[in-house]
Amino acid sequence: MRSVRWVLAVVIVLTLAAGLVFYFNPLWVVDQQTSWRLWREGVKSEYVEAGGYRLHYFEAGSTEGTPLLLVHGLGARGEDWRAMIPAMAKAGFHVYVPDLPGYGRSSKPADASYSIAMEEEAVVAFAQAMHLPRVDVGGWSMGGWISMKLALDHPEMVDRLVIYDSAGIYFPASFGSELFVPGDAPGVTWLMKVLSPHPQAMPDFVMRAVLRKIARNGWVVQRSMAAMTGGRDLLDFRLPDIRQPTLVVWGSKDELIPLSVGKKIHEGIPNSSLAVIDGCGHLAPLECWKPVAEATEKFLRAPQPVQESESVLAAD
């Protein structure tokens, strides 16, 4: 009987300890859960020196699979592709997902500009470090901008191109840069409503953790935004020069970068195709990953990619 009470006491103590860890470090706990799930799916977490940066990256899939490089967006990191990585690896691709300089677990030099051009150079250096002379490339939001610029500046490196709810051309935004670095709970709530048509409620202790993280890393986002809004790397007049087969994927309810922008990019890139994910927002590769992954696989696997087509896919 005494041993049973002792075991029960240990269980209670461990449960309380776990609860306290989650209460004071909820984002860390969620990160550990994500890391475990990716590991269970066979996704490796590694580091490489490239372009003067120490870059963290995820890698998954057979070494004989078609190489696919996925580029995340502003304020994001490799984990944001957590649904797409195992899906594309199971589809036969060898998937590489770096954290861009300034983001995730990659180095964050204090004197860097974090411009589109700088991040593009880092992607080139990463591909070279991984011995990837030619790859399929997918970019999400700011990552789509980087990926399109990569296809233009280094066409020999990009076989096929997929962009998801991508930035990169001018459009009259209804928000300022402060949207991306909120300093209070209403600001975070606003950002989540812009990103997703179905934002999840956030407990107060999680909200506090989110605000602490933004306070630590917001300077990188601000510097990236300053470089992007300067307009130097805008691609409006360069889209016709993209010659790679291109698939434009967009959430129909994207309030951050509206579907009209996706249609304009589709119209500007010769022979591109457009796939609209009905009912999804800016986070389509995460919240609506199944139809996004299916559309991506179909496009990349086609012997001759369908061109100049438009389709609407159900969110799930």
What is the domain partition of the chain in residue ranges? 29-175+232-314
What confidence score (pLDDT) does residue 174 get? 80
Average pLDDT over residues 40-60: 98
Q: Kindly state the tokens that stand for 188.
A: 């975070």
Contact of 142 with 164, CB cutoff 8 Å: no
Contact of 296 with 87, CB cutoff 8 Å: no
Residue 116's H or E segment, with its range, is helix 116-129
What confidence score (pLDDT) does residue 15 get? 57
Given CA atoms 296, 297, 301, 307 in this order, what sign does their dihedral have?
negative
Alpha-carbon gap, residue 305 to 299, rounded angstroms: 6
CA distances from 112 to 64, 129, 226 (A): 36, 21, 12
pTM: 0.94
End-to-end CA distance of the chain, in Å?
Answer: 52
pLDDT at residue 80 tops 70: yes
Query: What CATH number belongs to 29-175+232-314?
Result: 3.40.50.1820
Q: How much of the chain, in percent, has pLDDT values that exceed 70?
A: 92
- Mean pLDDT rounded to a whole number for the chain: 92
- The torsion angles phi and psi of 202, rounded to 5 degrees, stand at -120, 120
Q: How confident is the model at residue 41 (pLDDT cuts 50, 70, 90)?
A: very high
Q: How confident is the model at residue 98 (pLDDT cuts 50, 70, 90)?
A: very high
